[in-house]
């Protein structure tokens, strides 16, 4: 009986086997939460009144930087439960989890015996209960803003993997006066709008399209005169010295530095035709790169220095072309309707930003250097002149509102947007501003 | 030959008997038992208590015949007393309540006592609603007491509890070796909500930053152990710091949203192990 039972059972079991173990459930997550990451940043600690006040100021600058990036959202300090006592102490993570903070930044300001201050920070992962990074900066006490920006950059890099852009400055054309007689001068300020300083007061010419050198505190721009063609100038920010790039018969304009800062690419106009040229700053030798009866202008170099993008209307409308740095292999990469202008190669090398004009509207967009993946990020009455942050994640551009018949409108402002098209926001400037240029990360 | 027949019959019987005993148990398919949906019979008055909508307005009308019909009044009074009608339920509520309870076995001698009381009360009732000087706090306190007394008398579940039980009991019928589509969808929704992608989508080629995770859950939905990254070696070898950020965000997403207590505990074997692939959107 037992044997028969077992035999029968055995035969049956072969056909009626059900899985004895649970299978691992597999799921694909393809959508996420694009809301900014909640971050907690209690005031930086200090030992005496002065360092406590500095700590509060520094935290304010960091919070502002992180919030404005659009990637982080600093939780209001009034919601915090734990009060950190030391930057070296392990926080009570449960207190921070309750308020939904994903990351915690704790810092301290100490006075050093030589009169400088030391700003130290630790970044904690609240859900993994571990430290993500720690850094300390030493700087003179009145340079605390730059220390705060450097902490923001460190936080940004730890949390995104990308270098930050907070310890940078912006140069732009500041406009004052009535619409018919606008006075334009060059101004420089921190990227968060602090410390605006005029640069070209007292110059007898107007300044257009300023561009930063990637390696030195130098700007190149086009100077506009009343009685002769505009020329490209170099301007030293620290000393205030200006010099003309060279004496040319025709107009030179749209200058940009090469990534190593040793050359300037620009357009030069001769007998009504514009072409792209490159000039070596040490030898001052000019080399022609395009030779075409069409208007070739607005050159921009890739971060590896091997290719140049520019606009040309040789195909009938203004479109974007790329070529090798020696002028060979020129080919068109944009094919959309309307006009493409002011191409700028991203410092990350993966995208070229541009202004597009179509059907009476202006757009800021990006396109890959091979011509694929064109995306329009903004649209308005007049958006133009994009400039990249040093990490290639954020674009700054000029936006002008339409002039209304009653005389209002027509204001020019600076706006920023990130490369995914999110976080469009206005950049605070003293008065009207246009033609922005973003400096590299300050050393 | 006789022996042969006998033996043959015996063997046949033996085989049939063995099959009869063993086959049914091995052929029975692995079906999960029918879900048990608990039913709770409630009185209409209790239904009114459970729903959030206050009782219907006819209640004040019912109170008018109170002095005329003593006996029905005795029984009906507790009912209007339960409903939330502050203006029509003056402080006299507690008074009639103990009386019916005590006096029901002796309705006759009680009636004359009950009669004068409702008429006494109604004059109290009538002037009260018109006057705006109602002490609503006292009224609400009384009403709450009524409700609490009710609850103390007969503990019953709140509506949300009954619906939750119904949800939990309503498991899928049939072969229970796979997680239902709705449970999977709930899991995907929960993790997607907690996955911060803002820091990843700006990276170069975010669609390549794929992270594979594995983890196990306890019966209450909590993580049995920290989740493991199965392609960690690949991520480390690549040296791509954006990929490491994506890895950290994926781990945080799973930890942040625990415990996953919406999964049916009676089908725990179906969902105790998970493997998740995070694919950043472009």
Length in residues, chain B: 282
Q: Tell me, yes or no, whether B131 lies in a domain.
A: yes
Query: CA–CA separation, A71 vs A38, rounded Å?
Result: 9
Looking at the structure, do residues A140 and A249 belong to the same domain, yes or no? no
Q: Tell me if chain A has a CB within 8 Å of the CB of B229.
A: no
Domain boundary (A143, A160, A177) is at A160
CB contact under 8 A, B245 and A9: no
Average pLDDT value for residue range B78-94: 41
Looking at the structure, do residues A185 and A326 belong to the same domain, yes or no? yes
Q: Tell me, yes or no, whether B19 lies in a domain.
A: no
pLDDT of A364 above 50: yes
Q: Tell me, yes or no, whether A31 lies in a domain.
A: no
Q: Which has the closest alpha carbon to B213: B193, B195, B201, B198?
A: B195
Q: Tell me, yes or no, whether B32 lies in a domain.
A: no
Of the pLDDT bands very low, low, confident and very high (cuts 50, 70, 90), residue B247 is very high
Q: Tell me, yes or no, whether B51 lies in a domain.
A: yes
Instruction: Select the more confidently predicted residue: B89 or A44.
Output: A44
Task: Give the pLDDT score at B109.
Answer: 42
Nearest CB to B196 within list A24, A33, A420: A33
Looking at the structure, do residues A188 and A151 belong to the same domain, yes or no? no
A184's tokens: 């334009």
Per-residue DSSP letters for A231-252?
EEEEEETTT--EEES---SS-E
Residue B145 lies in domain = 44-153
Query: CA–CA separation, A334 vs A372, rounded Å?
Result: 8
Q: Tell me, yes or no, whether B228 lies in a domain.
A: yes
Task: Give the pLDDT score at A267.
Answer: 94
Q: Tell me, yes or no, whether B176 lies in a domain.
A: no
Interface probe with A: pick from B195, B198, B213, B236, most Cβ of A within 10 Å: B198
Looking at the structure, do residues A331 and A259 belong to the same domain, yes or no? yes
CB contact under 8 A, A125 and B248: yes
Nearest CB to B192 within list A19, A32, A420: A32
Q: Tell me, yes or no, whether A183 lies in a domain.
A: yes
Among A183-187, A348-352, B7-11, whose mean pLDDT is lowest? A183-187
Domain CATH code at residue A310: 2.120.10.30
Task: Give the pLDDT score at B163.
Answer: 45
Number of domains in chain B: 2
Q: How far is B258 from chain A (nearest CA, A)?
A: 11
Q: Which has the closest alpha carbon to A22: B171, B216, B230?
A: B216
Burial A143-154 (b: 16+ CB within 10 A, else e): ebbbbbbbbbbb
Of the pLDDT bands very low, low, confident and very high (cuts 50, 70, 90), residue A160 is very high
Q: Are A375 and A417 within 8 A, CB to CB?
A: no
Looking at the structure, do residues A153 and A250 belong to the same domain, yes or no? no
Among A361-375, B27-41, B225-239, whose mean pLDDT is lowest? B27-41
Of the pLDDT bands very low, low, confident and very high (cuts 50, 70, 90), residue A238 is confident
Task: Give the pLDDT score at B264.
Answer: 85
Place of tokens 């339960």: B82
Query: CA–CA separation, B142 vs B76, rounded Å?
Result: 18
pLDDT of A180 above 80: no
Query: CA–CA separation, B277 vs A70, rounded Å?
Result: 26
Average pLDDT value for residue range A107-122: 94
Average pLDDT value for residue range B56-79: 43
Q: Tell me, yes or no, whether B70 lies in a domain.
A: yes
CB contact under 8 A, A24 and B273: yes
Looking at the structure, do residues A262 and A285 belong to the same domain, yes or no? yes
Looking at the structure, do residues A310 and A353 belong to the same domain, yes or no? yes
Looking at the structure, do residues A101 and A229 belong to the same domain, yes or no? no
Instruction: Count Cβ atoms below 10 Å from residue B127 Cβ, excluding itself.
Output: 10
Average pLDDT value for residue range A296-318: 95
Instruction: Select the more confidently predicted residue: A309 or B33.
Output: A309
Looking at the structure, do residues B149 and B48 belong to the same domain, yes or no? yes
Nearest CB to A420 within list B27, B179, B201: B201
Average pLDDT value for residue range B225-245: 93
Spell out where A273-428 has E strands.
273-280, 286-288, 296-301, 307-312, 319-324, 331-332, 339-345, 352-358, 361-367, 375-380, 382-388, 394-400, 412-418, 425-427
Task: Give the pLDDT score at B142.
Answer: 65
Q: Which has the closest alpha carbon to A403: A432, A424, A375?
A: A432
Find chain B residues with C-beta within 8 A of A8's C-beta: 18-19, 22-23, 26
Segment B96-155, tens digit of pLDDT: 444 443 444 444 444 444 444 444 444 444 444 444 566 666 666 666 555 555 555 544
Q: Which has the closest alpha carbon to A388: A323, A344, A429, A433?
A: A344
Average pLDDT value for residue range A90-99: 94
Kindly state the percentage of chain A with pLDDT values over 70.
96
Query: CA–CA separation, A13 vs A19, rounded Å?
Result: 12
Number of domains in chain A: 2
* pTM, two decimal places: 0.72
Q: Are A179 and A187 within 8 A, CB to CB?
A: no
pLDDT of B35 above 70: no
Q: Tell me if chain B has a CB within 8 Å of the CB of A69.
A: no
Looking at the structure, do residues B138 and B185 belong to the same domain, yes or no? no
Looking at the structure, do residues B125 and B71 belong to the same domain, yes or no? yes
* Nearest chain A residue (CA) to B246: A160
Q: Tell me, yes or no, whether A28 lies in a domain.
A: no
Task: Give the pLDDT score at B32.
Answer: 52
Q: Tell me, yes or no, whether A270 lies in a domain.
A: yes
pLDDT of B58 above 50: no
Burial A310-328 (b: 16+ CB within 10 A, else e): bbbbbeebbbbbbbebebe
Query: CA–CA separation, B123 vs B131, rounded Å?
Result: 13
Find chain A residues with C-beta within 8 A of B280's C-beta: 32
Q: Tell me, yes or no, whether B167 lies in a domain.
A: no
Task: Give the pLDDT score at A379.
Answer: 94
Residue A56 lies in domain = 37-160
Of the pLDDT bands very low, low, confident and very high (cuts 50, 70, 90), residue A193 is very high
Q: Which residues 15-34 of chain B have a CB within 8 Å of chain A?
A: 15, 17-19, 21-23, 26-27, 29-30
3-state secondary structure of B101: helix
3-state secondary structure of A183: strand
Domain boundary (A94, A125, A160) is at A160
Of the pLDDT bands very low, low, confident and very high (cuts 50, 70, 90), residue A440 is very high
pLDDT of A172 above 70: yes
Looking at the structure, do residues B201 and B271 belong to the same domain, yes or no? yes
Q: Which has the closest alpha carbon to A65: A122, A8, A5, A147?
A: A147
3-state secondary structure of A117: strand
Chain A to chain B Cβ contacts (< 8 Å): 139
Q: Are A411 and A400 within 8 A, CB to CB?
A: yes
Domain boundary (A110, A127, A160) is at A160
Distance of CA A299 to the CA centre of its chain: 19
Looking at the structure, do residues A235 and A91 belong to the same domain, yes or no? no
CB contact under 8 A, A5 and B18: yes
Average pLDDT value for residue range A331-354: 95
Of the pLDDT bands very low, low, confident and very high (cuts 50, 70, 90), residue B48 is low
Task: Give the pLDDT score at B98.
Answer: 41
A292's tokens: 């075409």
Q: Which residues 256-275 of chain B have a CB within 8 Å of chain A?
A: 256, 269-275
pLDDT of B222 above 60: yes
B172's tokens: 């899928």
Of the pLDDT bands very low, low, confident and very high (cuts 50, 70, 90), residue B66 is very low
pLDDT of B80 above 90: no
ipTM: 0.85
A399's tokens: 């936006």
Looking at the structure, do residues A243 and A359 belong to the same domain, yes or no? yes
Looking at the structure, do residues A254 and A224 belong to the same domain, yes or no? yes
Looking at the structure, do residues A257 and A128 belong to the same domain, yes or no? no
Average pLDDT value for residue range A324-343: 95
């Amino acid at each position: 009986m037992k044997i028969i039972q077992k035999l029968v059972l055995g035969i049956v079991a072969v056909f009626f086997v059900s899985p004895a173990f649970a299978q691992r459930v597999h799921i694909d997550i393809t959508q996420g939460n694009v809301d900014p990451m909640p971050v907690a940043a209690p005031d930086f600690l200090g030992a005496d009144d002065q360092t406590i006040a500095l700590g509060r100021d520094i935290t304010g600058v960091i919070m502002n930087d992180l919030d404005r990036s659009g990637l982080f959202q600093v939780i209001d300090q009034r919601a915090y439960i734990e009060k950190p006592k030391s930057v070296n102490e392990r926080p009570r993570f449960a207190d921070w989890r309750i308020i939904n903070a994903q990351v915690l930044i704790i810092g301290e300001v100490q006075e050093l015996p030589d009169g400088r201050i030391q700003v130290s920070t630790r970044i904690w992962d609240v859900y993994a209960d571990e430290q993500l990074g720690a850094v300390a900066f030493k700087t003179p006490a009145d340079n605390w803003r730059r220390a705060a920006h450097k902490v923001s950059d460190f936080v940004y890099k730890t949390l995104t993997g990308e270098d930050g852009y907070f310890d940078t400055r912006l140069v732009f054309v500041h406009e004052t006066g009535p619409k018919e007689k606008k006075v334009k001068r060059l101004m420089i300020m921190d990227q968060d709008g602090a410390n605006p300083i005029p640069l070209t007061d007292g110059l007898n010419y107007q300044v257009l399209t300023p561009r930063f050198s990637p390696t030195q505190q130098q700007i190149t721009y086009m100077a506009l005169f009343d009685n002769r063609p505009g020329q490209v100038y170099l301007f030293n920010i620290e000393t205030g010295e200006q010099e003309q790039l060279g004496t040319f018969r025709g107009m030179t304009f749209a200058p940009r530095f090469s990534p190593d800062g040793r050359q300037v690419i620009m357009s030069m106009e001769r007998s009504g035709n514009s072409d792209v040229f490159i000039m070596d700053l040490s030898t001052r030798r000019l080399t022609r790169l395009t030779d075409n009866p069409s208007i070739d202008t607005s050159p921009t170099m890739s971060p590896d220095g091997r290719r140049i993008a520019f606009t040309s209307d040789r195909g009938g409308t203004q479109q974007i072309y790329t070529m090798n740095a020696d002028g060979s292999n020129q080919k068109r990469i944009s094919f959309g309707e309307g006009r493409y202008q002011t191409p700028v190669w991203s410092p990350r090398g993966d995208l070229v930003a541009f202004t597009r004009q179509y059907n009476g509207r202006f757009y800021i967009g990006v396109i890959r250097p091979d011509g694929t993946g064109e995306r329009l990020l903004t649209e308005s009455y007049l958006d133009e002149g994009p400039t990249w942050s040093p990490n290639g994640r954020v674009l700054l551009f000029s936006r002008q509102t339409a002039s209304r018949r009653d005389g209002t409108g027509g204001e020019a402002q600076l706006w920023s947007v990130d490369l995914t098209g999110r976080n469009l926001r206005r950049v605070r400037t003293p008065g009207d501003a246009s033609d922005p240029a973003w400096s590299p990360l300050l050393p | 030959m006789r022996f042969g027949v006998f033996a043959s019959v015996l063997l046949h019987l033996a085989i049939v008997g063995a099959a009869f005993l063993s086959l049914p148990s091995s052929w029975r398919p692995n079906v999960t038992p029918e879900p048990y949906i608990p039913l709770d019979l409630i009185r209409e008055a209790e239904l009114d208590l459970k729903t959030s909508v206050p009782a219907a307005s006819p209640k004040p009308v019912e109170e008018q015949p109170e002095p005329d019909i003593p006996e029905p009044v005795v029984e009906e009074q507790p009912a209007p007393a339960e409903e939330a009608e502050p203006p029509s339920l003056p402080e006299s509520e507690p008074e009639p309540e103990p009386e019916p309870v005590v006096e029901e076995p002796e309705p006759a001698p009680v009636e004359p006592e009950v009669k004068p009381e409702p008429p006494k009360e109604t004059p109290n009732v009538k002037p009260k609603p018109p006057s705006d000087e109602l002490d609503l706090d006292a009224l609400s306190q009384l009403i709450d007491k009524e409700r609490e007394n009710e609850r103390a008398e007969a503990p019953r579940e709140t509506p949300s509890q009954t619906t939750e039980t119904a949800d939990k009991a309503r498991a899928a019928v049939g072969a229970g070796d796979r997680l239902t589509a709705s449970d999977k969808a709930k899991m995907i929704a929960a993790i997607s909500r907690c996955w911060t992608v803002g820091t990843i989508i700006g990276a170069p080629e975010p669609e390549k930053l794929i992270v594979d995770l594995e983890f196990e859950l306890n019966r209450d939905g909590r993580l049995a152990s920290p989740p493991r990254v199965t392609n960690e070696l690949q991520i480390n070898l690549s040296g791509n710091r954006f990929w490491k950020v994506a890895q950290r965000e994926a781990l945080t997403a799973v930890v942040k949203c625990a415990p996953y207590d919406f999964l049916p505990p009676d089908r725990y074997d179906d969902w105790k192990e998970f493997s998740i692939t995070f694919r950043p959107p472009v």
